[in-house]
Structures are given as C-alpha cells and as structure tokens.
Amino acid sequence: MAAQLQTYYSEPQRHYHTLAHITYMLKAFDASGRKENAIELAIWFHDCVYDPLKGSPWNERQSIQVWEEFCDSIKPKAMTDLKEPVSVLIEATILHRLPDTLPEGLTVSQVAVFLDLDMSILADSPSAYETYSQQIRQEYLHFPDKEYRLGRSKVLQSFLLHDRIFLGEETEAMEERARVNIQGELSRLQVA
C-alpha cells in the first residue's frame, strides 16, 4: 500500500496535497509526542484521492473508500478496530469541525489534534504560507483568475468566521498567526 499511496500523492494535478504535505503533518505529529495509530493512518490516507475538479466532499469520501478497502484487505483485529475511527477522522476534514458523535476508540482530543495538524500550514511563517497559497492556486488553474479569487476569498473568509480555526488546547498563538496569514492572502487576492 505504501507504493500506492506514493503514487496517489505524486499525481500531476497536485501541488500542495503531495507527499510534502503528509511529511509536514507527520513531523508535526511526531513533535507532539503523541503516538496514536488512528491519527497517523488518517494523515496518510486523508488526501490520498484528490481531484480539484471534483472537490469536497467527493475527495474525502473517495479517500475513505481507499482506506476502508485497504483495511478490509488486511483483516487483523487491530486494523479492523481502527477502520471506523480513521474513517471518522478523514470525514471530519470535510467541514473541519468536531463530529457530533464519535465511535468507540476515538476521542475529541484526537479529532482536534488531527484537524489542527491538517490546518497547521495556515499558522506557519508568512513565506511558508505564501508558498502554500501559490500551490493551492496551481491546483486550481482550471479556474480563471477572477473566479478563483472570488472562490478562494469565500473559503478564507469562512475560516475567519469561525470562533476558532484550531480546536486543540494551547493553540492561541497558532490561531493568531493563521488569522494574520489569511488576512494577508485576502488582501493580495483583492489587489490582484
């Protein structure tokens, strides 16, 4: 499966949703000192299907299907116990909020950590954020500039409307950096 995941994340339509994104999340997860298999597997599988023409929630649902088919092909009890928790983690990336109900073996803290890892690029340095925003634009080159600026602005404004972008504990500094980065991108989109 490792080779298949590498193939997925190396597809030509990807510029941000690549192995570099997975590596970024894995490094941050490792630095957190947490060792939950469900989070690590969700990191690997959450964007394995990514087609900018299809968008969300199609990509997430297809990624869940790839995960579940892999899980079913392995069959050890330890893996089957992770099937639903990992699927719920991936599904949570559709709206980037905590699900109303959680399966056995998955905690609110785990979901928050995973979602925060996925969004952590928003709170990175201004130069890393600028690279990220350019990579996202590359993934959506099929949209003309004006249409892209309007759509991207709506996405970014929706982040700012949330009381909190990051759901975990002690994420205030990340929250502040992310909001500054997002405001900066919104300003650039309006000027363009």
pLDDT tens digit string along 142-175? Answer: 999 999 999 999 999 999 999 999 999 999 999 9
Q: What is the pLDDT of residues 10-27, one digit of tens each?
A: 999 999 999 999 999 999
What is the maximum alpha-carbon separation in the chain? 55
Q: Which domain holds residue 19?
A: 2-120
Q: Of 120, 149, 170, which residue is a domain's last?
A: 120
Q: What is the pLDDT of residues 56-115, one digit of tens each?
A: 999 999 999 999 999 999 878 778 899 999 999 999 999 999 999 999 989 999 999 999
- Verify that 7 and 95 share a domain, yes or no: yes
- Verify that 132 and 108 share a domain, yes or no: no
List Cβ<8 Å contacts ≥24 apart for 149-158.
Answer: 149/189, 149/190, 149/192, 152/185, 152/189, 153/186, 153/189, 153/190, 156/182, 156/185, 156/186, 156/189, 157/186
Q: Of 120, 151, 178, which residue is a domain's last?
A: 120
Total domains present in the chain:
2
Q: Of 57, 90, 120, which residue is a domain's last?
A: 120
User: pTM score, two decimals?
Assistant: 0.94
- Verify that 99 and 140 share a domain, yes or no: no
- Verify that 165 and 141 share a domain, yes or no: yes
- Verify that 146 and 161 share a domain, yes or no: yes
pLDDT score of 76: 81
- Verify that 58 and 103 share a domain, yes or no: yes
pLDDT above 90: residue 31: yes
